[in-house]
Each structure stands twice: as structure tokens, then as C-alpha cells.
Amino acid sequence: MSATESSLKAKQAKQSLGARIAARAGGGVMRVFLILVALFWLMPTIGLLLSSLRGPQDIAATGWWKIFTAPSEMTFDNYQRLLDNSTITGSLLSTIMITVPSTVLVVVIGSLAGYAFAWMEFPGRDWWFLLVVGLLVVPVQVALIPVSELFGTIGIFETTLGVVLFHTAFGLPFAIFLLRNFFAEIPRELLEAARLDGAGEIRLFTRVVMPLGGPAIASLGIFQFLWVWNDMLVALIFADSESPPITVALQQQVRQFGNNIDVLAPGAFVSMVIPLAVFFAFQRQFVSGVMAGAVK
């Protein structure tokens, strides 16, 4: 059967709900409605973006929409000042120092455990895995008090290490769940062939399982990266208050909201640049990560 034929057929069959609503209920109205919704959805972000491009006096005096009538007002001074501000640049560095290790650790530790759950034999394997599944929905709030006391005792409260460990621990249930399910579908023959070639458990893991798990690992990595990068609560409690990540640094500015939009708006945008770039570059992996987290 030719693929084109079946896809054509599918296309015809699929020209259904949306197309017919369009035809019968007035496609024009629907299109206009969707365009309005899209603009409505974009507007808050555009408002912040345009505000970040206006000088403090302009922000205080008039709304960002005035920039459309006076485009000459646009300036990058806010960004210039922001990048000269060592607190902000330092906090960006802190964010990276927290996000990268957390992501790497979750991927590595999650892969190890995921592989063990998928392909190794040990007593109570399925029970241990159910325990991990149970931990999927545990809210981080449960751990805030106990872990801050625990970290205090062992001396890593308000350190980057503490934040990284916390994020890693709470990223693990999802990581193990996702990777175990993915690894379990690797064909047994592949592993056996590698085994016959003399590969040991570690070689099997690094040379066969990890490469084959690429797509799932990519989804997981992107997911964890965005999750940690965007986190504020955990950092608020566990991060070093001398060098907080960008979310906490900006949060400290919010109390003055209204007088410092020229700092907050560009700051928020700088903090959004990396997540948005990751989002646009890896949409597919991001979406599949989201789907794996929620739906079958």
C-alpha cells in the first residue's frame, strides 16, 4: 500500500470538524475570533517587551502602547543598565550554575535507575517502581521544612549544592518513570547481541541504552532544564541569598513595583530569553515531554 494514498485518504477524512464548522458557521467569523484570541494572548508579553524598551520617564508618564505613535522613544538603555548591574549578571550566572548540574544529574541518575528498572533483575523490582510512580505527584511543599532543617544540619542550607540536590531529587520520579518506560521498549535482541559481543553491564548502558534513549533523554533534559530555570520557590528558600538566581533577584525587586519597571521589565525578558529559545528550538521534544507527563 502506498503511503501517499493512505495519507490522502486520511486527509479527506480529516477535512471534517474544523473545516465544516468553518464552512457552515461562517469561517470568516471563526478566523477573526482566533486572530483576536492570538492577539489577546500575545498582548501581555508584548506590553512587557515594549515597556522594557522605554525610558523610566516615559514608563511613568504613559502606557507602552504609546510607543506605536512615538517609535523614536525606543531605547535599549534599560538593557544596557541591566547588564552593567552586577547583581543581575551574577544572578544569571547563579541560575546557570544551578540549572546545568540539576539537569545533568537528573538525566544521569534517572537513566541509571531507569535502566535498572527496565532490564535488571533484583528482588522487589516492581514494588520499588510503584513507589517511584507514587512519588510522581508529591508536592515540593512537603519537603520545604524538613529539607531546610536537614540541609542546615549537614551545612548545605543556602548553597548551590543544596538547590541542585533538591531539584534533582524532585526531578527523579518523573525521570525514572519516563526513561524506564522508554528503555523497556528497546528490543531484547539488540541488548543480547551487544552482550554476545562481550559488552558488560556498564558498556551496554553507555553504548546501547543511552544512545537509543536519545529522544526520551532529550525530552527529559529540556523539561528539567526549563523547570529548574523557571523555579522561584525552591531557590527562594534554599539558594544562597548572597548570589540568588535570576528569579529570586527579580522577585526582590517586585516589592517596589511601579517605580522600577525599567529594571523589572528588561530583567524578566532576560530571564525569559533562554527558556523561550529552548522552547522554540525544541518544541517537539518539549511537547512530548509535557505529554509524557500527563497523558497516554
Partner 1 sequence: MTTATAGGAGAAPPADDTTPRPSPPPDPGKSRRSVTGTRRIIAAAFLLPALVLLGALVLYPIGYSVYRSFFDQAGTGFAGIDNYTALFTDATILTAVKNNAIWVVFAPTVATALGLIFAVLTERIRWGTAFKLIVFMPMAISMLAAGIIFRLVYDQAPERGVANAVAVGVHDTFNQSSGFPKARPLPVHPLEKGDGGAFVSKEPIRAGQPLRVPLVGVAPAKMPGDARPAKEAPAVSGDGEKISGTAWLDFTRGGGGKPNAVDPKEVGLKGLTVEAVKDGRVIATATAGPDGVFTLPASADGAQLRLPADNFREPYNGVDWLGPSLVTPGIIGSYVWMWAGFAMVLIAAGLAGLPRELLEAARVDGANEWQVFRRITVPMLAPVLAVVLVTLMINVLKVFDLVFIIAPGSSQDDANVLALQLYRSSFGTDADLGIGSAIAVLLLLLVIPVMLFNIRRIRKEGRR
Within positions 66 to 85, which residues make up the interface with partner 1, using CB under 8 A? Answer: none
> Applying CB under 8 A, what is the total number of residues that bind partner 1?
143
Question: C-alpha cell of 278?
Answer: 529552548
Work out whether 225 is an interface residue with partner 1 (CB under 8 A): no
Q: Interacting stretch for partner 1, rule CB under 8 A, among 68-76, 78-86, 96-104, 116-124?
A: 116-124
Site string for partner 1, 41-70 (x = CB under 8 A): xxxxx-xx--x-------x-xxxxx-----
Work out whether 212 is an interface residue with partner 1 (CB under 8 A): yes
Work out whether 251 is an interface residue with partner 1 (CB under 8 A): yes
Distance of closest approach, residue 93 Cβ to partner 1, in angstroms:
17
What H or E segment, with its residue span, contains residue 138? none
Q: How far apart are CA 144 and CA 64, in angstroms?
A: 39
Work out whether 157 is an interface residue with partner 1 (CB under 8 A): no
Q: Interacting stretch for partner 1, rule CB under 8 A, among 67-75, 78-86, 96-104, 135-143?
A: 135-143
Work out whether 244 is an interface residue with partner 1 (CB under 8 A): no
- Select the residue interacting with partner 1 from 28, 71, 142, 153 (CB under 8 A): 142
Cα 2 from chain centroid (whole Å): 39
What does the DSSP assignment read for 181-235?
HHHTTS-HHHHHHHHHTT--HHHIIIIIIHHHTHHHHHHHHHHHHHHHHH--HHH
What does the DSSP assignment read for 18-84?
HHHHHHHTTHHHHHHHHHHHHHHHHHHHHHHHHHHTS-HHHHHHS-GGGGGT-GGG---HHHHHHHH
Q: Interacting stretch for partner 1, rule CB under 8 A, among 67-75, 79-87, 96-104, 278-286?
A: 278-286
Q: Interacting stretch for partner 1, rule CB under 8 A, among 15-23, 74-82, 86-94, 96-104?
A: 15-23
Work out whether 281 is an interface residue with partner 1 (CB under 8 A): no
Question: C-alpha cell of 269?
Answer: 525578558
Work out whether 130 is an interface residue with partner 1 (CB under 8 A): yes
Q: How far apart are CA 39 and CA 37, in angstroms?
A: 5
Tell me the residue type at 285: Q
Work out whether 37 is an interface residue with partner 1 (CB under 8 A): yes
- Select the residue interacting with partner 1 from 5, 28, 86, 137 (CB under 8 A): 137
- Select the residue interacting with partner 1 from 88, 98, 163, 179 (CB under 8 A): 179
Cα 245 from chain centroid (whole Å): 16
Q: Interacting stretch for partner 1, rule CB under 8 A, among 70-78, 81-89, 96-104, 196-204?
A: 196-204
Q: How far apart are CA 165 and CA 92, in angstroms?
A: 19
- Select the residue interacting with partner 1 from 71, 139, 153, 242 (CB under 8 A): 139
Q: Locate cell 494514498: which residue?
A: 5
